A and B are shown apart, each in its own frame.
Chain A
Amino acid sequence: MHLILFFVFAGFCLAGAINLLLQSHPINSALSLIVVMTSLAVLYLLLGAEFLAAAQVIVYAGAIMVLFTFVVMLLNAGREERTLGSRTARSVGFPAVVAILAVIATVILKAQGLGVATLGEGLTNAKGSTNIEVLSGVLFHELLLPFEVTSILILIAILGAVALASRGDGPHGSRERMGGE
């Protein structure tokens, strides 16, 4: 079971990633990315991270990708144009990517002590404690401060986004202008 599930959803991941690269319209790339996100959520479930799987779907696929889609539609981004391109990106970038992949793959394959992923085995083997209990136990005890700081970070990000994206002449300006286009 585990193997089949892995193959299927890993296949979805790869397919979605490659499709992201091959599509020319950004909206198609966004939809492929959503596929990747949800497949990853399933993979998290296979690895025993239930909370994270849920968070992945809600936050990533549900919020961030929606945001991306909104922006694509807002800016009316069309198909990609054939621009000059960059020779450096091809000549320097591709070998670099190949090198990175080769190095990491070598490290992974040569590593000792990696076992197998057991389905259903969570973070603890104790009966009665769920994944989310363990998670929240650490989160709200040891790491309370980073948690709160992160919430402030998000608040700042919201403010920043509003400030950056608004037009100069007032909070209603953007609505009028954007509506006219």
Chain B
Amino acid sequence: MSSFLTQEVPISWYLLLSAVLFSLGVIGFLIKRNLITVFMSIELMLNAVNLSFVTFAHQWHAVKGQIFVFFVMMVVAAEAAVGLAIIIAVFRARATLAVDRIDLMKL
């Protein structure tokens, strides 16, 4: 039992977790019908990628990995601000947040 407890976690498990989180994000992007929820799935995908960056930074003792995550966070913050502003503008124009109803771009 103690050996089990003191066992280390293989790097590949972190990476698998990251992959699974990413796929869950894609699935969410595909099946959710509310615009805000779709946006949240995108955030989930980004976080999964962040996790894999940090994992690799730990694996190879590379500080650049963590710095990349830092920058990603900054950009995501900006992106979230702008994206939500767009969602508000769309809501004002179409009075709905259903993804399927916002199809003005169809031929």
> Which A residues form the contact surface with B (CB < 8 A)?
1-4, 6, 10, 13-14, 17-18, 20-21, 26, 29-30, 33, 36-37, 40, 43-44, 46-49, 51-52, 55-56, 59-60, 63-64, 67-68, 71-72, 74-75, 77, 80-81, 83-86, 89-90, 93-94, 96-97, 100-101, 104-105, 108-109, 111, 114-119, 121, 123-124, 131, 134-135, 138-139, 143, 146, 150, 153-154, 156-158, 160-165, 167
Contact = CB atoms under 8 A, between A and B. Distances in A.
Given A20-B24, A26-B34, A157-B81, 7 more contacts: A14-B21, A59-B77, A60-B73, A72-B36, A117-B9, A161-B85, A164-B88
A93 B17 CA distance: 21
Overall SS of chain B's interface: helix
B12 A114 contact: yes
Given A21-B24, A100-B23, A115-B11, A49 B69 contact: yes
Interface residues of B, number: 76
B9 A3 contact: yes
B21 A17 contact: yes
Given A64-B76, A105-B16, A93 B66 contact: no
A19 to B, nearest CB: 10
Given A37-B47, A89-B31, A97-B26, A74 B58 contact: no
A117 B21 contact: no
A27 to B, nearest CB: 9
